[in-house]
């Protein structure tokens, strides 16, 4: 009895106190016959549209307010802090609204990371990415329609590698920034964490939004902060000037590498997936 109490006090349990959902099938053609699948695609499209609409408008509005030549104030506007809040706050709101419908990805890199972790099927992952990219293009298109006088003048909110930074630095910023975001997504939605830390309730969209906020503070001066290929693509397509396209590959390769590293780290290191796969060790349930 004393031994049993000691084990319980250390947080070890003979049975799992959480349930991991089974891995998603690689190809799940049955999804194409379900309304819930198309509803999820619509949710991803609309969420990404709204995300780009609000955030790109914020970026352009800041440029207008700080343009001294046009009568603005160099110290006016929301500043980098306000832009970061716009991106992080919108992710918080939209993930909260769509998590129960589509999972609230709103980012091809997040979808890619979850696909690698077998959380979504290949068909769902591809269709989500298409919906996200189309939503981003539509969202920036709305910005141009409503702010046509300022859209081209102030760069269309497009991402590009800023002067003074090398391609390697920009790529590294996108990799690390996306790693932070996708790692947060995995941690905030981990059923094991939810069960073991049930005394510390976590509203998943909140840390995800804060991750986006913090990454923007760090990398806006470097690349304008992509960490979302759909966001970068939407602005580049509608603005359609050489500068955003010159290094556009950075905003796809970097986020996808960062997402892959985050998926590997969480699933195979933190969740001991590699040890389980080898079958030669047993993971410590208290870790």
Is residue 285 scored above 90 in pLDDT? no
The pLDDT of residue 22 is 79
Question: What CATH number is given to the structural domain containing 83?
Answer: 1.20.1080.10
In a domain, 51, yes or no: yes
In a domain, 2, yes or no: no
Q: In which band, very low, low, confident or very high, does the pLDDT at 89 lie, cut at 50, 70 and 90?
A: very high
The pLDDT of residue 18 is 62
First-to-final CA distance of the chain: 24
The count of domains in the chain is: 1
Which residues lie closer than 8 Å to 94 by C-beta, 6 or more apart?
47, 50, 51, 104, 106
How many C-beta atoms surround the C-beta of residue 268 within 10 A?
15
Residues listed for the chain: 287
The pLDDT of residue 66 is 82
Is residue 212 scored above 50 in pLDDT? yes
Cα separation of 220 and 85, whole Å?
A: 12
More confident residue, 192 or 237: 237
13: left (phi over 0), alpha (psi -120 to 50) or beta: beta
Structural domain span for residue 74: 33-268
Closest by CA to 145, choosing from 55, 72, 242, 57, is 57
Is residue 215 scored above 90 in pLDDT? yes
The pLDDT of residue 202 is 62
Q: In which band, very low, low, confident or very high, does the pLDDT at 12 lie, cut at 50, 70 and 90?
A: very low
The pLDDT of residue 8 is 40
Cα separation of 133 and 251, whole Å?
A: 13
Which residues lie closer than 8 Å to 32 by C-beta, 6 or more apart?
123
In a domain, 129, yes or no: yes
Is residue 200 scored above 90 in pLDDT? no
Q: What is the mean pLDDT of the chain?
A: 87
Which residues lie closer than 8 Å to 252 by C-beta, 6 or more apart?
229, 232
More confident residue, 67 or 103: 103
In a domain, 17, yes or no: no
Per the CB < 8 A criterion, the answer to whether 56 and 156 are in contact is yes
Cα separation of 154 and 174, whole Å?
A: 23
In a domain, 220, yes or no: yes
Per the CB < 8 A criterion, the answer to whether 29 and 121 are in contact is no
- Which pTM does this prediction carry? 0.86
Is residue 16 scored above 70 in pLDDT? no
* Tens digit of each residue's pLDDT (9 = 90 or more) over 150-199: 999 999 999 999 999 999 999 999 999 999 999 999 999 887 766 555 55
The pLDDT of residue 67 is 79
The pLDDT of residue 75 is 76
């Amino acid at each position: 009895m004393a031994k049993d109490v000691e084990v319980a006090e250390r947080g070890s349990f003979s049975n799992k106190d959480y349930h991991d959902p089974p891995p998603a099938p690689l190809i799940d053609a049955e999804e194409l016959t379900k309304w819930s699948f198309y509803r999820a695609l619509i949710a991803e499209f609309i969420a990404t549209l709204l995300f780009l609409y609000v955030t790109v408008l914020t970026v352009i509005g800041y440029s207008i307010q700080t343009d001294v030549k046009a009568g603005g104030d160099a110290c006016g506007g929301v500043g980098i802090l306000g832009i970061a809040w716009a991106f992080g706050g919108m992710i918080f709101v939209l993930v909260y609204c769509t998590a129960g419908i589509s999972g609230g990805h709103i980012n091809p890199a997040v979808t890619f990371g979850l696909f690698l972790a077998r959380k979504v099927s290949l068909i769902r992952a591809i269709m989500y990415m298409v919906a996200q990219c189309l939503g981003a293009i539509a969202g920036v298109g709305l910005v141009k329609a409503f702010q046509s006088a300022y859209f081209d003048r102030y760069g269309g909110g497009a991402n590009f590698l800023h002067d003074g930074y090398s391609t390697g630095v920009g790529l590294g910023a996108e990799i690390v920034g996306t790693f932070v975001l996708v790692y947060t997504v995995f941690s905030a939605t981990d059923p094991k964490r939810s069960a073991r830390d049930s005394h510390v309730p976590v509203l998943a969209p909140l840390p995800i939004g804060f991750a986006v906020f913090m990454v923007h503070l760090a990398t806006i001066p470097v690349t304008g902060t992509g960490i979302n290929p759909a966001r970068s693509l939407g602005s580049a397509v509608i603005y359609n000037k050489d500068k955003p396209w010159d290094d556009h590959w950075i905003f796809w390769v970097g986020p996808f590498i960062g997402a892959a590293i985050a998926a590997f780290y969480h699933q195979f290191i933190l969740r001991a997936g590699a040890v389980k796969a080898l079958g030669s060790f047993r993971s410590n349930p208290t870790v």
